[in-house]
Chains A and B, each alone.
Chain A
Amino acid sequence: KQEVTQIPAALSVPEGENLVLNCSFTDSAIYNLQWFRQDPGKGLTSLLLIQSSQREQTSGRLNASLDKSSGRSTLYIAASQPGDSATYLCAVRPRNYGQNFVFGPGTRLSVLP
């Protein structure tokens, strides 16, 4: 069964730092991987979608990479800002387990002014 993990569980950095969030999945048979942002008690905002055939996607200060063979994705945030503080979730769409999305537990990011 597909499992998704995220490291670290929580991260606190000073404003301006570049940082990397990690996502790992156990089965490389996926359709895509999606990164989300969630503010406390709020809904999920889609940040980036990487299709299984792609290696990376970029949006502004965000860059997400995908290494399907090793079951890893990273989300790179450049020049972090206090407004980036949120929980970041990755989710994969497995090929082998019906049409379910599988989410990781998230990384809680705090960017200190």
Chain B
Amino acid sequence: EAQVTQNPRYLITVTGKKLTVTCSQNMNHEYMSWYRQDPGLGLRQIYYSMNVEVTDKGDVPEGYKVSRKEKRNFPLILESPSPNQTSLYFCASSFTVNSYNEQFFGPGTRLTVL
């Protein structure tokens, strides 16, 4: 089944404890991205990657890191999480960035930073 998977789905952690949220897609997509969703602010893009070893900042990249060593994986790293990073996170992918390709979303990761 073609899908985007994220792990973990739920995570409660404490301030400053490094964490990684994994994202994997099995559709051979070149483009992958991370979003956060917050009440009243909607979905905002954190980072995106147009292909292996190519990453770029989105609208809200502060406090996050990403890597794209393999085409299928795009982990989101929080080196020192803070309470303002409590949010619902989504990973998404599409074949390329041209106009013909829709984005597919993962199920989301709900992160709470105490």
Contacts and interface: CB of A to CB of B under 8 A. Distances in A.
B43 A93 contact: no
The DSSP consensus for interface residues of chain B is strand
Interface string B64-106: 0000000000000000000000001010100001111011111
For chain B, give the interface size range. 20 to 34
Contacts of B105: 36, 43-46
A99 B48 contact: yes
A31 B99 contact: yes
Interface string A89-112: 101010000111101111000000
A43 to B, nearest CB: 4
Given A43-B105, A99-B31, A99-B56, A104 B99 contact: no
Contact of A43 (B40, B59, B98, B108): B108
Nearest to A1: B59
B50 A46 contact: no
Contacts of B40: 105
B102 A46 contact: yes
A51 B103 CA distance: 13
B99 A32 contact: yes
